[in-house]
Amino acid sequence: MNHPDKLALPVGTTLDRFIMRKQEDFPYATGELSQLLRDIALAAKIVNREINRSGLIDIAGAYGNRNVQGEDQQKLDVIANIRFIRALRNGGEVCTIISEEDEEVIQTGNVQGKYIVAIDPLDGSSNIDVNVSIGTIFSIYRRVSPTGGEGTRQDCLQTGTHQVAAGYVVYGSSTMLVYTTGNGVNGFTYEPSLGEFFLSHPNIQTPATGAIYSINEGASATFSAGTTAFVAYCKEQNYSARYIGSLVADFHRNLLKGGIYMYPASAKAPQGKLRLMYECNPLAFIVEQAGGKATSGRCRILEIEPHEMHQRSPVFIGSSELVEKAEQFLAQDNAS
Q: Is 255 annotated as a binding residue?
A: no
Using alpha carbons, select from 298, 255, 301 the residue that is nearest to residue 277: 301
In whole angstroms, give the CA distance from residue 297 to residue 327.
6
Q: Is 216 annotated as a binding residue?
A: yes
- Strand segments, DSSP code E, in the chain are 62-66, 72-74, 94-99, 106-107, 115-123, 134-142, 163-171, 175-180, 185-191, 196-201, 212-214, 240-241, 260-263, 293-295, 315-318
In whole angstroms, give the CA distance from residue 150 to residue 97.
11
In whole angstroms, give the CA distance from residue 251 to residue 280.
11
Amino acid residing at 291? G
Q: Exposed (0-12), middle (13-18) or buried (19+): which is 49, by Cβ within 10 Å?
A: middle
Cβ(110)–Cβ(117) below 8 Å? no
CA-to-CA dists, residue 320 to 217, 259, 291, 317, 326, angstroms: 22, 9, 7, 8, 10
Q: Is 120 annotated as a binding residue?
A: yes
pLDDT of residue 73: 61
pLDDT of residue 8: 54
Q: Is 325 annotated as a binding residue?
A: no
Domains of the chain by start residue, with CATH: 15-201 (3.30.540.10), 212-335 (3.40.190.80)
Q: Is 273 annotated as a binding residue?
A: yes
Q: Is 110 annotated as a binding residue?
A: no
In whole angstroms, give the CA distance from residue 118 to residue 140.
6
What one-character DSSP code corresponds to residue 114? -
pLDDT of residue 57: 44
What one-character DSSP code corresponds to residue 151? -
Amino acid residing at 39? D
Taking 70 as the pLDDT cut, the residues of the chain under it are 1-11, 24-30, 54-73, 336
Q: Is 100 annotated as a binding residue?
A: yes
Q: Is 90 annotated as a binding residue?
A: no
pLDDT of residue 76: 86
Q: What is the pLDDT of residues 39-77, one digit of tens each?
A: 999 999 999 998 887 654 444 444 445 555 555 567 888
In whole angstroms, give the CA distance from residue 125 to residue 142.
29
Phi, psi values for residue 235, rounded to 5°:
-70, -40
Q: What is the pLDDT of residues 108-137, one digit of tens each?
A: 999 999 999 999 999 987 787 788 899 999
